[in-house]
Amino acid sequence: MLKLIFNFLIFPGFLFASCVGLIAGWVDRKVTARIQWRVGPPWYQNFVDIIKLSGKEIIVPQGAKAIFLLSPFAGLLSAVLAAVILGRSILVPAQSFVGDLIVLLYLLVIPAASLIFGASSSRNPLASVGASREMKMVLGYELPFILVAVVAIIKCEGAVKLGNILSYQMSFTSNLILPSGWVSPSGLIAFSVAILCMQAKLGFVPFDAAEAEQEIMGGTLIEYSGLPLAVFKLTKALLLYTMPLLLIVLFWGKDLRPAFLIVKYVSLLVVVILIKNTNPRLRIDQALRFFWGPMTVLALVAVVLALFGI
Amino acid sequence: MNIKLKALTKSIWVFHAACSPCNNCDIEILDLLTPRHDIERLGMTLAASVRHADALLVTGIPNTKTKERLKTLYEQAPKPCVVVAIGTCACGRNMFRDSYNSPCNIDDIVPVDVYIPGCPPKPEAMIAGVAKLIEKLKSK
């Protein structure tokens, strides 16, 4: 029991995951600044932001329901739970339970859902525009993302346990590479689709229409201030920790010694940041068409290729 | 000094409240975000919504319409929130003092913490103003 609480609150749960996530968020801001030829903030900037926000006044708009204040915490709790399940399955692959991949996929939708609930209960017209965009975005990226997870399951001979997926890759070869030593086409296609889905799940630039600062002034977050806003920022940091790690577990899990894990995590992070900094924002209809069109087709192709064993 | 106030001085999110300015001050404010001056070094970013703001940057002279808007904006901002008057117009209405559509000064509507004069003030002057602002917050 004590061990579970330790797992949830400290390692690999809330404290560890949010620290890594906030530092990853700093890497994002720093790299962005360097790309724009600026200096960028100091490394502790995101921690300071969270502390500052938690000390500010909490404003609840007139007529908002209790869900306005509850939904950020629901999002945070599920993000922490996702980080714990993923972290545990990396630390002790043998102890994971059947179907934890499915649980994880559901848990990772809840932060977006909490954003939608919170925004729609705030009674702000711009927030409701943001909520409707977020909803469409979730519908858009979930379909290819689940297909991509199916590719990983097929390639690991039907394992739906994260532990089994990992141990299969450790004993044979990672899902990106065929046993013969060639690059696996299905793994590669699925991995690239997964990176773009991750971009949308993190709400990063080509797919950030729900939080567009220039047109709808922060969209879903527009009415949030103080502690709830800090909780949303923390949830985002946790997702920034969880999502690249999930992709590594699904496709790139050949060697997960700490040094390799860190190199893989940072390289995925840099890919996300580069995509973010070199693309303009897509309109919501373009984003939806992108995910339901090319991305779903590619994911289906990957599923078929995986069934043929290449 | 408590830790939350200290955090506030290291991460001031600013909201740009343009009260019918001529846009010169606003251009100079945007200069603060460019590579030469980069105020993100000091943890300052432009906030999208006034609910996220720690500082209101007010430019221009309030007229009968924007007077009400500025008051609402200040009430909507979560406290502690500081107000910075940028430009000679915001500091004392300059040559528009006797104009028919200029009913009052900014400090008659909201409590101003720092005045940064200039027409428009240089980005360096604004950074000096921010340093004074941080000193003022520290003494609170």
Is the predicted pLDDT of residue A297 greater than 90, yes or no? yes
Domain of residue A72: give its range. Answer: 2-307
**Where residue B140 falls among pLDDT bands split at 50, 70, 90?**
low
Domain total in chain A: 1
Asked whether the whole model's pTM tops 0.80, one would answer yes
Confidence of residue B1 (pLDDT cuts 50, 70, 90): low
Which pLDDT score, from 0 to 100, does residue A235 have? 92
Closest to B4 (Cβ–Cβ): which among A36, A51, A59? Answer: A51
| Nearest chain A CA: its distance from B45 CA (Å) | 10
Q: What is the pLDDT of residues A170-229, one digit of tens each?
A: 887 777 777 777 888 888 889 999 999 999 998 888 888 777 777 777 778 888 888 899
- The proportion of chain B whose per-residue pLDDT surpasses 90, expressed as a percent, equals 1
Q: What is the pLDDT of residue B23?
A: 87
Complex ipTM over 0.90: no
Window 23-52 of B, Cβ < 8 Å to A:
34-35, 38, 40-41, 43, 47-49, 51-52
CA separation (Å) from B33 to A32, A44, A50, B41, B42? 13, 20, 22, 10, 11
* C-beta separation of B37 from B129 below 8 A: no
Q: A158: alpha, beta or left, given left = phi > 0 and alpha = psi -120 to 50?
A: left
pLDDT per position as a tens digit, A56-115? 888 888 877 788 889 999 999 999 999 998 888 888 877 778 888 889 889 999 999 999
Interface test with B, best of A31, A37, A38, A211 (most B CBs within 10 A): A38
Q: Is B96 exposed, middle or buried (0-12, 13-18, 19+ CB in 10 A)?
A: middle
Q: How far apart are CA A202 and CA A181, in angstroms?
A: 33
Architecture of domain B10-138: 3-Layer(aba) Sandwich (3.40)
pLDDT band at A241 (very low <50, low <70, confident <90, very high): very high
> Taking the domains of chain B in order of start, what are their residue ranges?
10-138
Tell me what the pLDDT averaged over chain B comes to.
Answer: 86
* Secondary structure of chain A in HEC code, one letter for each residue: CHHHHHHHHCCCCHHHHHHHHHHHHHHHHHHHHHHCCCCCCCCCHHHHHHHHHHCCCCCCCCCCCCHHHHHHHHHHHHHHHHHHHHHHHHHCHHHCCCCHHHHHHHHCCHHHHHHHHHHHHCCCHHHHHHHHHHHHHHHHHHHHHHHHHHHHHHHCCCCCCHHHHHHHHHHCCCCCECCCCCECHHHHHHHHHHHHHHHHHCCCHHHCHHHCHHHHCCHHHCCCCHHHHHHHHHHHHHHHHHHHHHHHHHHCCCCCCHHHHHHHHHHHHHHHHHHHHHCCCCCHHHHHHHHHHHHHHHHHHHHHHHHCCC
Q: Which of the residues B40, B54, B74, B127 would you substitute to probe the A interface, choosing the one with the greatest number of A C-beta atoms within 10 Å?
A: B40
